[in-house]
């Protein structure tokens, strides 16, 4: 599972333009399901309409409804702003863009082309995972994007990080071979011994309607560490 993890490297990071000026904070990531079945990261979502749904189905929906009602004169108030992924120049402690900030955040339109579905990273995080080789309480903990976090245009979703726990519960450094001091490495490996990486492809079905991922017997499950 080469690549980088979307929640770890993108969510809640500051976005700055090419001059270092603050643009926004990444509140979610836009994923587009293409007609050929591939899932691609196409934008950074910003603003309360992107952030509030991450609080969960009930609380998030209630908060978003209240936010929309507070400004009913704006028809697009429920839509987050989006920054095209092609504008991302580098990803480190923050997300750096290749352009100036003026006018680059646009409202996310509700219309999508025929044969295309628009998802969010938040739709996948926390999704139930059905797999006979994983603990029953397993969830999607992160989403793996292709390439490296540097000048990556519309990266493909290539894998999922799955296991017991909740999104955000993994230590940020446990994706690397070097886990630091031996005592820390032992603790991290112990805590996440059931966490696995699985490549998206045959035998892995993401079912948004059922809010679950089904992994068929025989699909390789790769240890993170």
Q: How many CB atoms are closer than 10 A to CB 110? A: 10
**One domain for residues 92 and 133:** no
CATH assignment of the domain containing 110: 2.30.30.240
**One domain for residues 53 and 39:** yes
141: tokens are 């903990």
Provide the 3-class DSSP secondary structure of residue 214: strand
Q: 109: Cβ–Cβ under 8 A, 6 or more apart, which residues?
A: 79
Distance CA 224, CA 207 (A): 24
* pLDDT score for 174: 47
Report the domain count for the chain: 2
Instruction: List b or e across 61-81, with b for residues whose CB sees 16 or more CB atoms inside 10 angstroms.
Output: eebbeebbeeeeeeeebbbbb
| Domain limits for position 24 | 4-119
* Residue 191 falls inside a structural domain: yes
* Residue 225 falls inside a structural domain: no
* pLDDT score for 183: 56
* Residue 177 falls inside a structural domain: yes
Given a cut of 70, the residues of the chain with pLDDT beneath it are 1-2, 71-76, 148-152, 168-192, 225
Q: Are strands 14-16 and 22-25 parallel, antiparallel or unpaired?
A: antiparallel
Distance CA 225, CA 223 (A): 6
* pLDDT score for 33: 93
* pLDDT score for 78: 76
* pLDDT score for 111: 78
* pLDDT score for 75: 59
* Residue 190 falls inside a structural domain: yes
**One domain for residues 90 and 9:** yes
**One domain for residues 69 and 88:** yes
* pLDDT score for 176: 56
* pLDDT score for 190: 61
* pLDDT score for 6: 94
């Amino acid at each position: 599972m080469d690549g980088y993890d979307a929640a770890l490297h993108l969510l809640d990071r500051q976005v700055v333009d090419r001059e270092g000026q603050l643009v926004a904070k990444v509140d979610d990531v836009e994923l587009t399901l293409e007609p050929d079945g591939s899932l691609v990261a196409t934008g950074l979502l910003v603003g309360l309409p992107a952030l509030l749904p991450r609080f969960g189905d009930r609380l998030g929906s209630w908060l978003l409804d209240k936010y929309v009602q507070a400004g009913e004169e704006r028809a697009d108030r429920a839509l987050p702003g989006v920054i095209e992924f092609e504008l991302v120049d580098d990803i480190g402690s923050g997300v750096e863009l290749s352009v100036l900030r003026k006018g680059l955040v646009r409202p996310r339109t509700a219309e999508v082309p025929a044969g295309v579905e628009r998802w969010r990273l938040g739709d996948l995080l926390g999704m139930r995972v059905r797999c006979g080789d994983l603990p029953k309480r397993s969830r999607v903990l992160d989403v793996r994007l292709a390439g490296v976090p540097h000048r990556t245009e519309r990266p493909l979703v290539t894998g999922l990080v799955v296991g017991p726990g909740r999104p955000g519960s993994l230590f940020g450094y446990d994706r690397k071979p070097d886990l630091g001091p031996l005592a820390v490495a032992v603790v991290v490996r112990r805590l996440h011994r059931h966490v696995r990486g699985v490549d998206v492809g045959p035998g892995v079905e993401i079912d948004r309607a059922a809010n679950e991922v089904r992994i068929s017997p025989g699909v390789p499950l790769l240890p993170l560490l």
